[in-house]
Amino acid sequence: MRRKLVAGNWKMNGTRATLAELDAIAAAAADRPGVDVAVAVPFTLVMAAAERVPTLSIGAQDVHAADAGAHTGCISAAQVRDAGATFTIVGHSERRADQGETDADVRAKAGAARRNGLTVILCVGETLAERDAGRAEAVVTAQLAGSLPEGATADWLSVAYEPVWAIGTGRTPTIADVAAMHGAIRAELRRSIGNEADAVRLLYGGSVTADNAAGLLAAGDVDGALVGGASLTAAKFVPIIEAA
């Protein structure tokens, strides 16, 4: 039985004043020990968040593939681990689109995170044009195959399916579409890592709210959610934890 995981991604939002929201989120997580709860905050808040709510899993939203070096403005997995992070997101569609990250880049970042003791949420997803062209599953499974690091195991890797066209738009795929895509992802994992694939948690991400969380989380092969805007406040995030 795979435990549910509800992970928040604050993206480029939040200051130290915002960290007060984590108090209620941590309390909700403590009240529901059957659900794993995590929040990826901006780099500037990792240390403060980890110190404020030590019972909550705090993560980074990205890491560099190198452990150290002449990479101005970048942050390594070793550095976020030292600041108190326990996990990182890699391959988020916004980074693939805005920063031009390739599958090879994502694979290298996931490997760096693993080397430095972080767990990883690896993101994959298709654009609306790709879905309309009937290529959604082919695009997503190819992304996964290209982004999956060597030696991937369920104790440190989760995969988040985030249809690019659903992120922040209020639109979501049908429950049947989500179940079908997660099934395709599970099948690709089995081809890549064998029976270990059955233990890897698959998250859905893309305009997850309190209103649609229960339905999405009940879809086949959905083991949790990667939540964007609704994770910024406890009032919106806690109901999603409750749904899980």
Q: Annotated active-site positions, please?
A: 92, 162
Q: Which long-range contacts (CB under 8 A, 24 or more apart) does 185-191 make?
A: 185/124, 185/140, 185/141, 185/144, 185/159, 185/161, 185/221, 186/221, 187/141, 188/141, 188/144, 188/145, 189/144, 189/148, 189/159, 191/145
**How many Cβ atoms sit within 10 Å of the Cβ of residue 237?**
27
Question: What are the helix (H) ranges across 32-161?
Answer: 46-52, 77-83, 93-98, 103-115, 128-132, 136-147
Distance CA 160, CA 90 (A): 10
Distance CA 181, CA 187 (A): 10
